[in-house]
Chain A
Amino acid sequence: MATQTTDPAVVADEGAVVDAIRVSVPQRGLGHDLRAVSIVWRRELIRFRGDRLRAITSLVQPFLFLFILGTGLSNLAGGSLPHSANFDFKTFIYPGVLAMSALFTAIFSAGSIVWDREFGFLREIMVAPVSRAAIVVGKCLGGATIATFQGVIFLALAWFAHVPYNPVLILSLIGMLLLLSFTLTAFGVMMAARIKQFQAFMALTQMLVMPLFFLSGALYPLNGLPAWLTVLTRIDPLTYVVGPMRHAVFSHLSLPAYVTHIINSRLAPGITWAGWPVPLWLSLGIVAVMGLAMMAVAIAEFNKTE
């Protein structure tokens, strides 16, 4: 086996029974922390790969929204939607439902911290000589990766909603999914740092996830709402991802000019603050900053010792 080792302290003496292989744990450094980030991230992927049932079940809900609710409401909303072969209510809600497909996976992935705590594995991590930041960062990136992957599976269904497989569109959607998934995982990790029971975590996140989704404008246009609802939608961080996603999707549809006009004026006017249109960079910037802030809170929380 590996008898030619670079480290002189390592003696891989296969035959001898008594000799211990000399292993020394290095001082903490950036390289070591990066290895920790990487292995926490990889564990997330390994576990996701081993759990196909979870991958399938987390697709059920967005699937229901897109095909059952989407098709059903197409019927009702038909009159107010522009007539076109390439556009219906499914197209309208597709970006929001795409965000939703990542939502549950991201939160659930963060929830595995609570699970790990209950089943002891968190202790194995907490006694390791690595910075708590490395652990939290690895976890957030891991959750972001698998939630994005889940979103990508849902992206494959774009055709059913008349959304074209345009490479630029796909890439920008994946980019936004990644950002959204990261922030959602950071949110979940922050919650998981404090909540000790898995049931409590699930109950609390369920309670928060549905309002987040409903207030994001995933299912309806953001303009012409009553004032109270307008305020609530502008507070919801999910709004600032669903808006840009919808904008990206709609700008890649090949539609007659008059349809595009209706869409831009009535259906996807973009996010505004008291009439001021929020630019794309600010929209996504808000989401990124929130994600980083929540991750920082999570790190501080994990740095505490009883």
Chain B
Amino acid sequence: MTTETAATAGAAPALGDGGGEPVISVSGLTKRYGEVEAVRGIDFAVARGETFGFLGPNGAGKTTTIKILCTLANATSGTATVAGFDAAADRDAVRRNIGLVFQDTTLDTYLTAAQNLRFHAELYGVAKAAVEPRMRQVLDMVGLWDRKDSLVSTYSGGMQRRLEIARGLLHAPHVLFLDEPTVGLDPQTRSSIWAYINDLKRREDITIFLTTHYMDEAEHCDRIAIIDHGKIVAIDTPEALKASIGKDRVQIHTADDEAAIRALADAFGIEAAMHEGAVTFAVASGEQFVPRLFAELAIPIRSVSVSRPSLDDVFMSYTGSTIRDAEGGAGNEFMRNMHRLRTGRR
């Protein structure tokens, strides 16, 4: 993709300094299951109203972190506060302020959608008079009002996920946790789920914390933390992360690709290679480089395309050792984060 996602532009605060107390703040958090250290000392803060994403492969510690924040697991060491309350000491206060959508369904499929929501409302002690109108509102939001009296077992996977989102919002939480909100759904349903989430951000004053291993989903976040092997290796806006790689990807079709590759090496000192049938290379500020390319490259160019680094590139650069070694700038960023993590740990 060559264009930037609109959702991520705009003012994204750096490390939870959006004025006032952060809604989520975590410091020195670790979690050990026997021999396995699932979370190995992480620190981050999420500002009010932010959409914050945890990006990482399966088993990186994303779900464990969410479980600790949601009071479902105790940290081995370190602290986590959510909505101003300690996630270990003040569980009920945290629970009152959060909504959850888990990776696997947590609906009672033998009940109707309305019965599931009513169960939730009673469990959360939602004022009786507010239950019906609020149910209508959240079901309308996810387009399931018409199906409210159907058994959940008759719902498709996408509908179930939408219902879970509606239920997570029923008690008007300040923070919504979404653990892999679109995993296992087809691309069309995934994009519709994101449409609901983006719509939600417009409507309600809510902070969203989500985990994902889909790069394109991370693009929806104001800021993302890349987590690998239980550690955060980078935190920033998707833009800044991509910029931290410092290079755009340029692809050109030429009359003689072999000669072009040689010429690029000789004239610009650029290492290019054939990729997807085109001469491909990485260069800082690609748009400014293109005019020079036309002026100075002797071989005729038939077409050119410049694309920003994708989060895939970012992810590779922060977690893949070969790329990390090759990229000087990213490596420095990595080392800074590592240092911060080490000092934040006990």
Interface residue ranges, A against B (CB under 8 Å): 1-2, 5-7, 9-10, 12, 14, 17-18, 20-28, 31-32, 35-36, 38-39, 43, 46-47, 50-51, 116, 119-130, 305-306
Q: Specify which of A5, A28, A116, A124 is in contact with B129 (CB 8 Å cutoff).
A: A5
Q: How far is the CB of B124 from chain A (nearest CB, A)?
A: 5
Q: How far is the CB of B86 from chain A (nearest CB, A)?
A: 13
Q: In chain B between 54 and 86, which residues have their CB closer than 8 angstroms to a CB of chain A? A: 67, 70-74
- Would you call A23 and B110 a contact (CB within 8 A)? no
- Would you call A43 and B108 a contact (CB within 8 A)? yes
Q: In chain B between 108 and 127, which residues have their CB closer than 8 angstroms to a CB of chain A? A: 108-111, 115, 118-120, 122-127
- Would you call A21 and B133 a contact (CB within 8 A)? yes
CA A116 to CA B108, docked complex, whole Å: 8
Q: Specify which of B96, B97, B120, B127 is in contact with A10 (CB 8 Å cutoff).
A: B127
Q: Is B171 an interface residue (CB 8 A)?
A: yes
Q: What are 14 sample pairs from A and B whose C-beta atoms fall under 8 A apart?
A: A18-B202, A20-B203, A20-B205, A23-B170, A25-B124, A35-B125, A120-B105, A120-B107, A123-B102, A124-B108, A124-B123, A127-B70, A127-B98, A128-B95
Q: In chain B between 166 and 210, which residues have their CB closer than 8 angstroms to a CB of chain A? A: 167, 170-172, 202-205
- Looking at B106, B123, B137, the one whose CB has the most chain A CB atoms below 10 A away is B123
- Tally of B interface residues using CB under 8 Å: 48
Chain B residues within 8 Å of A9, by CB: 127
Judged by DSSP, the binding face of A is: loop
Q: How far is the CB of B203 from chain A (nearest CB, A)?
A: 6
- Closest residue of chain A to B92 (Cβ to Cβ) is A129
CA A46 to CA B96, docked complex, whole Å: 26
Which 3 A-B residue pairings sit nearest by Cβ, starting from the closest?
A39-B122, A129-B95, A12-B133
- Would you call A127 and B71 a contact (CB within 8 A)? yes
CA A241 to CA B137, docked complex, whole Å: 51
Chain A residues within 8 Å of B92, by CB: 28, 129
Chain A residues within 8 Å of B108, by CB: 43, 47, 116, 121, 124
Q: Specify which of A51, A120, A130 is in contact with B123 (CB 8 Å cutoff).
A: A130
